[in-house]
Amino acid sequence: MKFTLRARLALMYGALVAVTLIAFAAIAYVTVSSELYQNLDASLSRAGSSLLAVLRKEQAQARKPLVPVKKTRRATREKDLFSVLQQTSVRDFVGPVATTESAEAEQDPVWSAVYEHMLLNSSNYVMQVVDKKGAVAWRSDNLIADSLPPFQWFAEQGAPVVDDRIYTYYWLRGERYRLVLTRGDVADVTAAYPAAEVDITLRRLFSLMLYSLPVALILSVGMGWFIAGRSLRPVDVITRSARQITASNLGLRLPVPPSDDEIARLTETLNDMIARLETSFAQIRQFTSDASHELKTPLAILMGELEVALRRPMREDEYRATLASCLEEVERLTHVVQGLLELSRAETGQVTIDRAPIRFSALVADVCDDVMLMAETKRIDVTTHIEPNISVTGDRVRLHQALLNVIENAVKYTPDNGSVRVELGVVDGRARLVVADSGMGIPADQLPFIYDRFFRVDKARSKNIHGTGLGLSIVKWIVDAHDGTIEAMSAEGKGTTVIVTFPLREASEV
């Protein structure tokens, strides 16, 4: 089953909240349980310590030993138990157990103080005092029919003793009690309290958590659904807007949310991508148009020449002239196709640049020699100033192609009797080639486009100059592939200057 992103976010949010609540509930339960039992132990410990303090004080004042509780008949014990029920509500808690009527007067100073102390404690406390000989000296009324094992018995059973105290549990009358036995110099005191009361509190807490967690989980999933919906609302807007953008209206843009968050940055990135697509589509359309135009002209010439040749008989020299014209147009078509293929392969990374040390000074001189014939035909004065021993690293064939195109363009677009200047030197640690001509120049508004495919500066002015319009595009690619730079400066009617730089060859290169 597939869930929407909103549903997945809501479920993830709910699961996270559920895990957090369960962990919090578990920690809270353990903490409360530990705190309750620690407080109970502390209360029982204080009760035992307080009772020992009272016994020490009263025994010191009375200077009488504690009198153990004698074994009495069942009827006597029952009578004492019933007498507890007849006491006032304040005395319902605990009270000293008188062994006999004759001994009651002797015990009054001690047991009256004990009784006053026990009134301050909860009626659920169970108290027992055992003298140092192990005999029960006193026990609370709610323990009248039973006795708790003494301190020594628990110690012999292996109960751990911590600071003269034993913390343990004991089953009394079918109920589990928490016991704290305190060993003192006067007597051993046992204070006990039903563990069921703490357990009831913990069960109530557990029930509260058990019933609250599903409610909290449902609320968290609902809140996650709401928050996810609010968060994804801009995505819905972007989706609807994106569906309206097609190849025919790439000028549209996605609405950017006002919040500076991840969705806003994603939208800006998508808008940048759409802008690049728009530029690419425009370039493709322009390229298609230019390529069609560049190919249409030679094809039209070819068709016209061939139609004329087929329409009427021609002499041999006329056939030769027609075939020569056709061959010229075929060569032009070949150059266009080769240039396009080369640029296409370069853009897709299919062209490998061989890198080897090159004597750049000699390469520039060779290129200048190659264009001398064209320059002499147009009576153009070509002056060169080439510093010797300048070397770079790169592909000799590609660099020759780029330099030939730049220098040949300077000669080609310079009128007869003009001049071309070629200089090579080292500037800022780079080989710097300057090619300046006195030609027609390039309008300032057209300079940024001279590296575009099929771009021709003022075609009306250069209609008699043959070219494919791909030369500088290829030059730009070759220069970039060699980590070089190319810059053109021109003033219309005053000529053009092209500056090309390349990194020098490192001394460690062979």
Q: Please report which confidence band the pLDDT of residue 129 belongs to, taking 50, 70 and 90 as the band edges.
A: confident
Per-residue model confidence as pLDDT tens digits over 259-274: 777 888 888 888 899 8
Q: For position 498, what pLDDT does the model report?
A: 93
Distance CA 64, CA 57 (A): 11
Please spell the DSSP secondary structure of 456-502, one letter per residue. -SSTTTTTTS---S-HHHHHHHHHHHTT-EEEEEEETTTEEEEEEEE
**355-384 burial code (b ≥16 CB/10 A, e <16):** eeebbbbebbbebbeebeeebeeeebebee
Per CATH, the number for 274-347 is: 1.10.287.130
Q: For position 107, what pLDDT does the model report?
A: 42
Q: For position 237, what pLDDT does the model report?
A: 84
Q: Please report which confidence band the pLDDT of residue 450 belongs to, taking 50, 70 and 90 as the band edges.
A: confident
pLDDT, average across residues 393-409: 89
Does residue 98 sit in helix, strand or coil? coil
The CATH number, out of the four listed (3.20.20.140, 3.30.565.10, 3.10.20.90, 3.40.50.11540), of the domain defined by the range 356-503: 3.30.565.10
**For the chain, the helix, strand and coil percentages under 3-state DSSP, each to the nearest 5:** 55, 15, 30
End-to-end CA distance of the chain: 64
Q: Name which of 261-265, 382-386, 504-508 the model is least confident about.
A: 504-508
Say if residue 421 is exposed, middle or buried (CB neighbours under 10 Å; 0-12, 13-18, 19+): middle
pLDDT of 81 over the 50 cut:
no
pLDDT, average across residues 81-105: 35
Distances (CA, A) of 158 to 8, 147, 162: 56, 20, 12
pLDDT of 59 over the 70 cut:
no
Which range has the top average pLDDT, 45-59, 181-195, 243-257, 410-424?
410-424
Q: What percent of the chain has pLDDT over 90?
A: 12
Q: What is the mean pLDDT of the chain?
A: 77
pLDDT, average across residues 433-459: 80
pTM for the full predicted model: 0.48
Where do the structural domains in the chain lie, given as residue ranges? 5-203, 274-347, 356-503
pLDDT, average across residues 384-407: 90
Of 151, 141, 135, 15, the closest CA to residue 66 belongs to: 135
Q: Name which of 174-183, 343-352, 447-456, 487-496 the model is least confident about.
A: 343-352
CB atoms under 10 Å from CB of 184, counted, come to 18
Say if residue 413 is exposed, middle or buried (CB neighbours under 10 Å; 0-12, 13-18, 19+): buried
